[in-house]
Chain A
Amino acid sequence: GNSVTQMEGPVTLSEEAFLTINCTYTATGYPSLFWYVQYPGEGLQLLLKATKADDKGSNKGFEATYRKETTSFHLEKGSVQVSDSAVYFCALSDKGGGADGLTFGKGTHLIIQP
Chain B
Amino acid sequence: EPEVTQTPSHQVTQMGQEVILRCVPISNHLYFYWYRQILGQKVEFLVSFYNNEISEKSEIFDDQFSVERPDGSNFTLKIRSTKLEDSAMYFCASSEAREGGGGYFGPGTRLTVT
Residue A64 CB within 8 A of the other chain: no
User: Which among A9-17, A43-51, A77-85 touches the partner chain?
Assistant: A43-51
Q: Which of A49-77 contact B (CB under 8 A)?
A: 49, 51
Looking at chain A, what size class is its interface with the partner chain? Answer: 20 to 34
Other-chain residue from A32, A36, A93, A103 in contact with B105 (beta carbon distance below 8 A): A36
Point out the residues of chain B lying under 8 angstroms from A105, CB to CB. 42
Instruction: Classify the interface of chain A: helix, strand, loop or mixed.
Output: loop
Which B residues touch A45, using CB under 8 A? 104-105
On whether the beta carbons of A101 and B56 are closer than 8 Å, the reply is yes
Whether B106 contacts A99 by the Cβ 8 Å rule is: no
Chain B contact residues (Cβ within 8 angstroms of A): what range?
A: 20 to 34
Interface: A114 (CB within 8 A) = no
Q: Is A41 an interface residue (CB 8 A)?
A: yes
Contact A46 B56 (CB under 8 A): no
Among A41, A44, A97, point to the contact of B100 (Cβ < 8 A): A97
A47 to B, closest residue via Cβ = B102
Q: A102 to B91: give the CA distance in the assembly, Å.
A: 12
Look across to chain A and name the residue whose beta carbon is closest to the beta carbon of B9: A41
Q: Which residue of A lies closest to B4 (CB)?
A: A43
Instruction: Report if A100-B105 is in contact (Cβ < 8 Å); known contacts: A44-B43, A106-B41.
Output: no
A43: contacting residue among B41, B45, B91, CB under 8 A:
B91
Do B107 and A41 have beta carbons less than 8 Å apart? yes
- Taking Cβ atoms with an 8 Å cutoff, the residues of B that contact A are 3-4, 6, 31, 33, 35, 41-45, 48, 55-56, 58, 91, 93-95, 97-108
Give the 9 A-B CB pairs with smallest separation, nearest first.
A99-B103, A98-B95, A46-B102, A44-B105, A43-B105, A104-B43, A99-B93, A97-B99, A43-B107
